[in-house]
Amino acid sequence: MKVYRNINKFPGCKNAVVTTGTFDGLHIGHRTILSKLKEIASKVDGETVVLTFFPHPRMVLFPDNDLKLIDTINERIDFLEKEGIDHLIIHPFSKEFSRLSSVEFVREILVNKIGTKKLVIGYNHQFGRNREGSFKHLKEYSSLYGFEVEEIPAKLIDDVDVSSTKIRKALLEGDIKTANTYLNRNFTLSGKVNHGNKIGREIGFPTANIIVEESYKIIPGNGAYAVKVWIDNTAYNAMLNIGYRPTFNSESNVKIEVHIFDFDKDIYDKIIKIEFIDRIRDEIKFNNAEELKIQLNQDKKSVMELLAK
Rounded to two decimals, what is the model's pTM?
0.88
Model confidence at 204: pLDDT above 80: no
Q: How far apart (Å, rounded) are the C-alpha atoms in residues 308 and 305?
A: 5
Q: How far apart (Å, rounded) are the C-alpha atoms in residues 70 and 218?
A: 6
Model confidence pLDDT, tens digit, residues 107-122: 999 999 999 999 998 8
pLDDT of 220 reads: 98
Domain spanning 185-308: CATH 2.40.30.30: yes
| All structural domains of the chain with their residue ranges | 2-162, 185-308
Q: How far apart (Å, rounded) are the C-alpha atoms in residues 122 and 21?
A: 9
In angstroms, the Cα distances linking 237 to 79, 160, 181, 241 are: 23, 31, 21, 14
3-class DSSP state of 21 = coil
pLDDT of 132 reads: 79
**Is beta strand 148-151 parallel, antiparallel or unpaired with respect to 47-54?**
unpaired
Q: How far apart (Å, rounded) are the C-alpha atoms in residues 187 and 114?
A: 32
Q: How confident is the model at residue 158 (pLDDT cuts 50, 70, 90)?
A: low
pLDDT of 136 reads: 84
CATH numeric code, 2-162: 3.40.50.620
How much helix, strand and coil, in percent to the nearest 5, is found in the chain?
40, 25, 35
Average pLDDT over residues 157-171: 77
Residue predicted with more confidence, 140 or 176: 176
Which of 272, 235, 277 lies closest to 256, judged by CA? 272
Q: How confident is the model at residue 68 (pLDDT cuts 50, 70, 90)?
A: very high
Model confidence at 272: pLDDT above 80: yes
Average pLDDT over residues 172-192: 95
